[in-house]
């Protein structure tokens, strides 16, 4: 499986035209009520979704399926936070587990920034394993309060 970061900035059709994605069923939706009119593609059955700009260029990719999460990082199945940190090094930013009164519990997370993209890894709140990996172009990274790692 090709590393999905290679598709960041590419047209959605490039990703969906490659095996195994060419056999998957994606639901496409457009957020017409937003000025930027982002386009979302979701394949719930396979645990992969991504969003695009109005020109259908991929900005972020979300990996929820266990096999996609671990294969993207070349980590053994069921790796936890310590294995991720040992493999990827010191994260650019991290966050600790917390509970939101409205949205519920969140696990810890780490973000690794590279020249053109970032890899954001969120962990399960009560288990030492990856919950989701988000791959993002550098120019779409959400800005907010983060703890920079030294």
Most distant pair of Cα atoms in the chain: their distance: 43
Contact yes or no for 95/146 (Cβ under 8 A): yes
Reply yes or no on whether the pLDDT at 150 is more than 80.
no
pLDDT, mean over the chain: 90
Question: pLDDT by residue (tens digit) across 66-103?
Answer: 888 888 888 888 889 999 999 999 999 999 998 888 88
The pTM assigned to this predicted structure is 0.89
Q: Does residue 1 register a pLDDT over 50?
A: no
d(C-alpha 93, C-alpha 113), whole Å: 8
Burial of residue 149 (number of CB atoms within 10 Å: 0-12, 13-18, 19+): middle
């Amino acid at each position: 499986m090709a590393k999905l970061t290679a598709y960041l900035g590419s047209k959605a059709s490039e990703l969906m035209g490659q095996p195994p994605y060419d056999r998957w069923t994606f639901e496409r939706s457009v957020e017409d009520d937003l000025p930027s009119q982002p386009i979302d593609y979701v394949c719930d059955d396979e645990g992969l979704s991504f969003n695009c700009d109005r020109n259908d260029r991929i900005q972020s990719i979300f990996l929820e399926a266990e096999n996609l999460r671990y294969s993207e990082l070349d980590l053994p199945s069921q790796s936890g936070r310590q294995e991720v940190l040992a493999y990827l090094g010191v994260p650019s930013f991290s966050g600790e587990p917390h509970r939101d009164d409205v949205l519920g519990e969140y696990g810890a997370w780490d973000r690794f920034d590279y020249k053109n993209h970032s890899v954001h890894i969120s962990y399960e709140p009560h288990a030492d394993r990856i919950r989701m990996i988000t791959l993002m172009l550098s120019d779409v990274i959400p800005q907010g309060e983060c703890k920079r790692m030294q």
